[in-house]
Amino acid sequence: MFKLYQAIPLLFLISCAVATEPNNSTLSTHTQQRDLANTSKHQTGSGFINAEAQQLLEFCIELNNQDDRLTSDNKDFRANGGDWTIVYDSRHPGNTEWNKKWPYSGPVDDKINPNNPQNNGFKPFNNAWLLLQSKNKSEYAIAIRGTVKGLSSLAADALLSTIPAQAGIKNQDGKTLPITFAQTEKAELHIGFAYAAFTMLFDKEHGIISQLQKLDIKPTKLFITGHSQGAAIATIINSFLYYAITDPSDRYQLNLKLNQGNNDGVQLKSYIFAQPKPGNLQYAQDVAKISQDMFFTVNNVLDPVQQIPLTIQLPSEVLNSVSKENLGKGNWEDELAFNALYKVSNVFKVAREKIAGLLANQVEKHFNQQKLDLNLEPYFPTAQVATTQPTEKANSQNYTLAGQLVPVFGLYNGGNLYPGDEKADILLQHHATSYRKLLAKQLP
């Protein structure tokens, strides 16, 4: 049993302040969709398959190395589409060619150059994505582009705060939208990656939802992939699609159902590369629950990007749930200790919520300035959105990787293992082309 003398060091660790308990809302305990995932049963086609991983990485190279192909003939920068066809290319709708260079005679970095990745994405973070179809016509893939040069793309990485993974997104009128990315209590998302995923999903012209509806695809398997920033966004999109497909009301009109090992629905399977941390610990646990043996995070141990954003965990995150669990239990010493711990931890929790709220307001303001053309009314009628309230405020910066980790091991002075020349390159271990060679060498 926890005693008062054991609480004293913890009280000094977090503060000597005392506050009254805030009137916080409680996260809904409805977790039926999350728990549809049958973690006791392995599905056909589950598990890490290196041929699948290598093919999906080629889709990332198609997106991420477009600028390299403009200035270099190095074959390492060319993507191999294999037996896959580009169905939709958000950079150039109508394009079906791999490694396409559009006719253009002006400067490489010109803003009207259709080959320039700094300008061929869509607002506000200059994102781009591909929808691809396999030769057998029953498998599709969604590939998300990572960070490209330019402030718009870098902004998504730099927004270092979190929002709730359930009802944490706001529209341009400041109204909270009942979008579910996770159902686990206290699950939170990196705010930049979350809003980037939101716009990629709901953009009226280029959005993933509108294109899936327009093309009316009926896949047996839907792969999701991305590299770098694209890996974090792809993780969040994987979560969204899981909850969208298992939504009994089919809010997003995808007309799909999830394969649970005993039906003919769609399987979601993800391979992502060089993933920065997309959310907090509880979000990673939610991902683990909904995607056992169907979600793989391939990270190079020497890649610096996988370590960002930096985790900052306050003692209050650990103590709040522990003290809440034990309120009113034990003898008078225990009650006194846990009441004090709970009140003190809430001081830090409320302070963190306010900081997160201020940062979220800045992101919302940025969105309003962009005047985005999002298709929201069919899924979130104005009358419904007006009454929607967030279920929980963000209070965590305990960022962590999500997905089943598959490590590859970069080499210092790796010789011809890596493309390029002898110039210094702080992201040598991070490039998608470096991952390609590490996968082929270490996971044959």
Q: What is the mean pLDDT of residues 409-429?
A: 75
Is the CA virtual torsion 366, 371, 377, 378 positive or negative? Answer: negative
Q: Decide if 157 is inside a domain.
A: yes
What lies within 8 Å, CB to CB, of 151 at 6+ separation is none
Q: Decide if 11 is inside a domain.
A: no
**How many domains are there within the chain?**
1
Token pair of 236 as six digits: 């969040």
325 band by pLDDT with thresholds 50, 70 and 90? low
Q: Is-contact 316 348, C-beta < 8 A? A: yes
Give the model's pLDDT for residue 126: 87
Closest C-alpha to 217, from 254, 168, 271, 175: 254
What tens digit of pLDDT does each residue of 284-312 get? 999 999 998 899 999 999 998 888 887 77
Q: Is-contact 81 98, C-beta < 8 A? A: yes
What lies within 8 Å, CB to CB, of 428 at 6+ separation is 418, 420, 434
The Cα angle at residue 73 between residues 72 and 76, in degrees rounded to 5: 95
Domain containing 414 equals 34-308+346-442
Q: Decide if 209 is inside a domain.
A: yes
What tens digit of pLDDT does each residue of 187-228 get? 999 988 999 999 999 999 899 999 999 988 888 899 999 999
Q: Decide if 80 is inside a domain.
A: yes
Q: Decide if 361 is inside a domain.
A: yes
Spatial distance between the Cα atoms of 2 and 51, rounded to a whole number of angstroms: 52
Tell me the β-bridge partners of 288: none
CATH number, domain with residue 111 = 3.40.50.1820
Q: Decide if 81 is inside a domain.
A: yes
Long-range pairs, 308-313, Cβ under 8 A, ≥24: 308/157, 308/276, 308/277, 309/160, 309/190, 309/276, 309/277, 309/397, 309/399, 310/399, 311/277, 311/397, 311/398, 311/399, 311/400, 312/397, 312/398, 313/396, 313/397, 313/398
Burial of 313 (C-beta count, 10 Å sphere; 0-12/13-18/19+): middle
Spatial distance between the Cα atoms of 93 and 35, rounded to a whole number of angstroms: 38
What tens digit of pLDDT does each residue of 53-65 get? 999 999 999 999 9
Q: Decide if 330 is inside a domain.
A: no
Distance from the Cα of residue 74 to its chain's centroid: 31
Q: Decide if 18 is inside a domain.
A: no
